Structure 1
Amino acid sequence: MQIIPVIDLKNGIVVHAKQGDRDHYAPLKSELCKTPDIFTVVNVYKMAFGFSTIYIADLDAITRQGHNGETLNKILAAFPEINFWIDSGYPICDDRLLRFDNFLPVFGSESFDNHNVAELSRFKRDFILSLDYSVTGEMGAKKLFSQPELWPSNVIIMSLPNVGSNLGPDIERLATYRNEHPEHNIIASGGVRNYEDLRALRKLGIEQVLVATALHNGSINPDGIANL
């Protein structure tokens, strides 16, 4: 199983995502590092855990309240050995990101409506799709949830109510996607608390999972990951 560490970026600093309530995300407080500076967090993920792939959500871009394109360009240039999955909304917040070989765009369903989903089929580069769920259900273009022919190979199931909570992953939803779409690589996101959750996801056949809170509070550590 591959753990993909998460960075949520807002107003230029790393924040602690909790249950999708983005207006109230606070600066990250972590046992791993003393500052919510993104360069520090990336370096800790690299040096302490040896992670070679990192997911970044530019929350300003996703919510159309500016973007962190300049910072993202600097991160991609500073860490060429790390692959970055970056959700910066749709369209991509800064076309300069496309210059980097270590940049893989993530497009979230919440950034689309039913009128522009067809544009995904014309995108000329690999990307990951994130099917986003709020407490009320599907977010964004409904067509994306019901038309798997629009999906790329890799699909994140993003359960925002579970993010940064003590709820655990949405096992039922993830199992449904795994069973109904075995031709796609289903990536879990939201709610992972500990090694038990990771083992439960692996039993479903989930091979990749996005994790943040459990890394920063020490529930999941480098030694434990090595022994999974």
Structure 2
Amino acid sequence: MVQQVLVTVEDINGVEPPPSSLWKSIRHKDISRPIWGFLWKAIHGTFKIGAFWDHLSPQYAQRGECPGCKVPETMEHILTECEITGQSMLWSLARELWEMKGLEWIPPTYGVALGASLLQIRGENGKVSPLATRLYRILATETVHLIWKINCQRRIQQGDDDPTKWHSEEQAMNKRLTIDRLLVNKLQYGSKAMMKAKVLSTWRGTLHDEKSLLEDWISQRGVLVGIVPLWR
């Protein structure tokens, strides 16, 4: 799996990254501990899904199969193929938010899903854009983790198809936006506080009714991402 991710990253970045850079990237400060923990386990293949159940007694065999698609429930299937995890819809919402920045979307292959923390996004001038790269890192890793959480929730609820009970892309991204806004507090975080300009630039162009917001909206109430929620 590591090699698959590195090949994908090389195809997009144009440079072959060393394996050590992958483990360092998933622990990036922009990625929360639960998410990098998930990525580490997913890349190492330690989750009890798919073929894991093949080595146990026959009574557990069905646990290795996706209940909706009737195919082996691999991590690749869950994140990029499954019809019941909502992955296609969530990736579409992520794309919608991304394209609000006027940037070209990267199709979410399995290598992209697990290697997003290493991808470099280039601007129109062909140079790597640190702010666009940061937004993609946040957007893609939050989406991947959300798809996984929805899959786990469905399993626990034994196929409950009520989408209003699911975590949403909108909620995940608004939570991440709120964290960024809090991290600029120099009184609380001192020298570790994030630069306000970095937060403003990262999210610029992705906010709901952005024209009505203050130029410095960090402390303004009601600041939300601009993707349209599918359920109210």
Computing the radius of gyration from Cα coordinates, the structure with the larger value is 2
More strand by share: 1
With normalisation by structure 2, the TM-score equals 0.27
More helix by share: 2
With normalisation by structure 1, the TM-score equals 0.28
